Homo-oligomer: A and B are copies of this chain.
Amino acid sequence: EIAATVEAMLAAGGPLTGRHVLVTSGPTHEPIDPVRYIANRSSGKQGHALASAAARAGARVTLVSGPVNLPAPPGVTVRPVESARDMLAAVEAALPADVAIFAAAVADWRAASEAPEKMKKDGGALPPLALTENPDILATIAHRTAGRPRLVIGFAAETQNVVAYAQAKRARKGCDWIVANDVSAQSGIPGGVMGGDSNQVHLITADGGEAWPPASKAEVAERLIARIAAALGERESES
């Protein structure tokens, strides 16, 4: 950890020096009652690797993270949250940022109402579980007219038609890039993407899509952060 802190300090002259990078990571937990919740499978490994790589590149980093079992990356400010609504509030509180990377697996739905006491199954009838849509954090931030980060990047976890779904998602959400991965059991990643240390992604931008080779989540993070640094540099030299 000392080595990593030193590395972060040396990176003061890195390509993201002076930038604020916001990263979301992990799952969200949506309460049903005091003891039950709906969750997404997400280890947070990719999001945490991105926060770590951004810090090593010299950025100031805010990591808004759902419940994970990972240490805080060195040199990163962590904002722990539970639900999607908590996560949106923490993201908005962390703005302004130059770049926002939404790597968390946010639950699309939550229970329409949280029961104040533990629901009982006595009587045999099953309780209806009414669901309601969660706020769309990626679209909310991407569609901001004031204070929108210059680069808004979403993630897509798909089990089929990965590139087509990701391109449609990019247009619908209003974000700049989508990092898409195939989380199906057929992805060919040993041990699976979810919870594992490896990833294979497609980067979808306005210019189309490119398939990256299978790599560790740390390597995917390094590569994405390098692309972000290059894109911010280009945009500044244009203006």
Contact = CB atoms under 8 A, between A and B. Distances in A.
A38 B34 contact: no
B118 A126 contact: no
A113 to B, nearest CB: 14
Contacts of A32: 38
Contacts of A126: 109, 131-133
If over half of A's interface residues share one DSSP class (helix, strand or loop), that class is named, otherwise mixed; here it is loop
Q: How many copies of the chain does the oligomer comprise?
A: 2
Contact of A129 (B34, B41, B129, B185): B129
Contact of A37 (B35, B38, B117, B132): B38
A121 B133 contact: yes
Interface stretch (A9-17, A155-163, A197-205): A155-163
Interface string A151-178: 0000001111000000000000000000
Contact of A36 (B34, B36, B38, B158): B38
A34 B131 contact: no
A117 B35 contact: no
